[in-house]
A and B are shown apart, each in its own frame.
Chain A
């Protein structure tokens, strides 16, 4: 940003702040923390949404068998007290005793068996199959011992069990189902839900009877979450005191808020990677330009990644060349890197038979500003883009039908610290695979199912080197998130883009 000192615009903001002053609805005194979500959450049931907001609520309302400490990345027991591999595809858990769900139902092996069998069954339609489809079934040994059977060897199992796989109450879930669970969620987590207005308003209250969990005990009595899509409105409410914490604040606004000196502005990197997806498999048309490796390389050379990171994303974002987040296990960085070289891009396009460039539909679903900047780079080397901004679900469907030749995509890996959460999601010939490379599939199969870390790294390396060498994608940058909150809130954000209410307290 240009302005280093309080500028006229911050003064304008201060005036606006005064003009929108409303009675402070809540703060430390009322023991209520007011939080804003930007996007509407379709269903609170964590298996039936695929959004970041859903992950945030999932971590507050439910618990997994295992917990990964976001600081140390160490796995500790949560609903399970211990676990061991019986063989390559069987995990046995000893469950914690004396845990009850928010509705009073006691937690035991039946709940685990029911939950696992329900979500692992593809017919039940869990939204992100990748999170659960490695499990075959669960088996009760006794009331507090349970075994989970895997379809095949899956070394990332512990990571997934500490992340998206949370335990549901069997009796309640059998009766309420995903829609009932979405309206009246019941879990074992540190916060219980007292009010749900779908997509709009969620009220959480501290679970006074929370078990002795590694997540810690909730300190803030009440969390009130509202969906406010417009970031200006969010900031105005923050000024007026009717919001205490906002997150996912764009870098420009976060800088200005930091200059005002009244709020804590924390920046943390996230696992989200932004990339251009190109239709190398020719699903959108045999003759589409991206079936040509030279064109894909030209796209990679056309993008000034460093400038995007420095000027737009800012914060702790990094340039990335791999189709995975660098901290993820197996995400080796020893890959082909494409430097910013528009002349080379033009030369490659000419060599590919497009001396005058070509025109193509360009799709994006978020961060319009980044998308515009990217198209501007492409236009500069002769790739004319017809800009289309769609909703995520609409673009995803188009993508699954193979109708998208070029799109700006992002993937947050569900904060799973393993390369399989991203590479294997998109390069194993699934509906979202735009490349369909047989060799990559073969290598990823080995890497995903091997239990030997060395073998995994070796095969991920092979796959990643081929993906980058062939320029199947144009990975560009990692995201960061800005958290802005009042000084009376104490919170240290973690690098996995999960807002943890249980870690927050009043100063």
Chain B
């Protein structure tokens, strides 16, 4: 008897899976760092009206390109002013809103589309799978940047257009990963058991499949969010994304580009912030993957 009960007892008295998860998460430096930075930027974005020292749209042509504090400027404009005399720090803070909003909404739209397609393909298989796989292939055959450029050029650049275009273009990875994960999960015994006791398909999808593919979903969400933020910056840099005077980090890089040789900080500051945000989101994604699926660590 002791042979059987001992390991069981040990398991009962050991830490619960949730506690294990928490311990792993807290010891993961990348995850902690990424989360802190993202959280900080989200707070900054939400509190922008409180934090920003100036109106990000207030133009003062007599105060153009004031250098930031660390290059000989004053605390009146800690990060200096841009080519139209607008406070750089305030524009950076409001720019965080644009970047995060685009990242989050685009990831949400593409997440919903991709997950629905992927889970359906993985669970139902057969013709549904064939159609979804075909759609994924079609989508993968189109270069994202090129299509986004073309669509934005035709419809005109605006925040809504950019969000929609990115949301409708970035679902491929969701679909691929969700399809593979669902395929794996739907062969498990507990799914078969649920089917045997007569649970409805929506119920099985929601209570048996989704909770088990959620880990993967979170990782993809972070990846695609970073992807969308970078694409928005690229589109804005090319003049096809968010239109002035809306502050956007990509647009700020683009506007500072002409003065790059003499006022490099105009490009360096928004570039650095963009880099940190994308890095943080990616670290967070990697960390989440490591923590939730430790066997996936390589």
Residues on A facing B (Cβ under 8 Å): 1-2, 7-10, 12-13, 16, 231-232, 235-236, 250, 252-253, 256, 304, 307-308, 310-312, 368-369, 372-373, 375-377, 379-380, 386-389
A-B contact pairs, 11 of them (CB 8 A): A8-B67, A9-B264, A235-B261, A250-B258, A308-B61, A310-B62, A311-B64, A373-B84, A375-B245, A376-B84, A379-B245
- A252 contacts B262, C-beta separation under 8 Å: yes
- A369 contacts B84, C-beta separation under 8 Å: yes
The 3 closest A-B pairs by CB, nearest first: A311-B61, A376-B59, A387-B243
- A236 contacts B156, C-beta separation under 8 Å: no
* B65: interface (CB < 8 Å): yes
Cβ contact of B61, chosen from A250, A373, A386, A387, cutoff 8 A: A373
Q: Within the assembled complex, what's the spacing in Å between the Cα atoms of A235 and B59?
A: 28
- B156 contacts A388, C-beta separation under 8 Å: yes
Known contacts: A2-B65, A372-B84. The answer to whether A387 contacts B262 by CB under 8 A is no
Chain B residues within an 8 Å CB radius of A373: 59, 61, 84
Q: Within the assembled complex, what's the spacing in Å between the Cα atoms of A369 and B239?
A: 13
- B64 contacts A386, C-beta separation under 8 Å: no
- A13 contacts B158, C-beta separation under 8 Å: no
* B294: interface (CB < 8 Å): no
Cβ contact of B245, chosen from A231, A232, A376, cutoff 8 A: A376
Q: Within the assembled complex, what's the spacing in Å between the Cα atoms of A232 and B259?
A: 8
Chain B residues within an 8 Å CB radius of A387: 243-245
Closest CB in chain B relative to A383 CB, distance in Å: 13
* B198: interface (CB < 8 Å): no
- B158 contacts A386, C-beta separation under 8 Å: yes
- B84 contacts A13, C-beta separation under 8 Å: no
- A16 contacts B83, C-beta separation under 8 Å: no
* B20: interface (CB < 8 Å): no
When C-beta atoms are compared, the residue in chain A nearest to B242 turns out to be: A387
* B211: interface (CB < 8 Å): no
When C-beta atoms are compared, the residue in chain B nearest to A388 turns out to be: B156
Known contacts: A375-B245, A376-B57, A388-B243. The answer to whether A232 contacts B84 by CB under 8 A is no
Chain B residues within an 8 Å CB radius of A236: 261
Contact with A along B58-95 (1 / 0, CB 8 A): 01011011110001100000000001110000000000
* B129: interface (CB < 8 Å): no
Chain B residues within an 8 Å CB radius of A388: 156, 243
- B244 contacts A232, C-beta separation under 8 Å: no
- A16 contacts B261, C-beta separation under 8 Å: yes
- B62 contacts A307, C-beta separation under 8 Å: yes
- A252 contacts B65, C-beta separation under 8 Å: yes
When C-beta atoms are compared, the residue in chain B nearest to A369 turns out to be: B83
Q: Within the assembled complex, what's the spacing in Å between the Cα atoms of A388 and B57?
A: 18
Cβ contact of A253, chosen from B62, B66, B258, cutoff 8 A: B258
Q: Within the assembled complex, what's the spacing in Å between the Cα atoms of A236 and B245?
A: 30
Contact with A along B94-106 (1 / 0, CB 8 A): 0000000000000
Closest CB in chain B relative to A487 CB, distance in Å: 20
Cβ contact of B264, chosen from A2, A12, A231, cutoff 8 A: A12
